[in-house]
Structure 1
Amino acid sequence: MELKFRVWGRIARPVEDVFEAVVNPDRLSQYFTTGGATGRLEKGATVTWDFADFPGAFPVEVVELVENKLILLHWGNAEGNGTQTEATMRFTDCGDGHTLVEIGETGWSESQQGLDASYGNCMGWSQMICALRIWIEHGINLREGFYK
Structure 2
Amino acid sequence: KVTWQFHDFPEAGDMPIEVVETRPNELIHLRWESCVADEWNDVKITFERLENDQQTLVRVTESGWPKTDQGIQGAIDNSGGWANAMTCL
Cross-structure match for 2:22: 65
TM-score normalized with structure 2 length? 0.90
Flag the structure with more relative contact order, 1 or 2, with Cα contacts below 8 A and sequence separation at least 6. Answer: 1
1:78 CA drift (Å): 2.1
The one-character-per-residue Cα deviations of 1:23-47 (angstroms, maximum 9, x if unpaired) are xxxxxxxxxxxxxxxxxxxxxxx11
The one-character-per-residue Cα deviations of 1:10-35 (angstroms, maximum 9, x if unpaired) are xxxxxxxxxxxxxxxxxxxxxxxxxx
Cross-structure match for 1:48: 3
Structure 1 vs Structure 2 CA RMSD: 1.0
TM-score normalized with structure 1 length? 0.56
Structure 1 unaligned blocks of 5 or more: 1-45, 133-148
Higher strand share: 2
1:53 CA drift (Å): 2.2
Structure 2 unaligned blocks of 5 or more: none
- 2:66 is aligned with 1:109: yes
Question: What is the number of residues matched between the two proteins?
Answer: 86
Higher helix share: 1
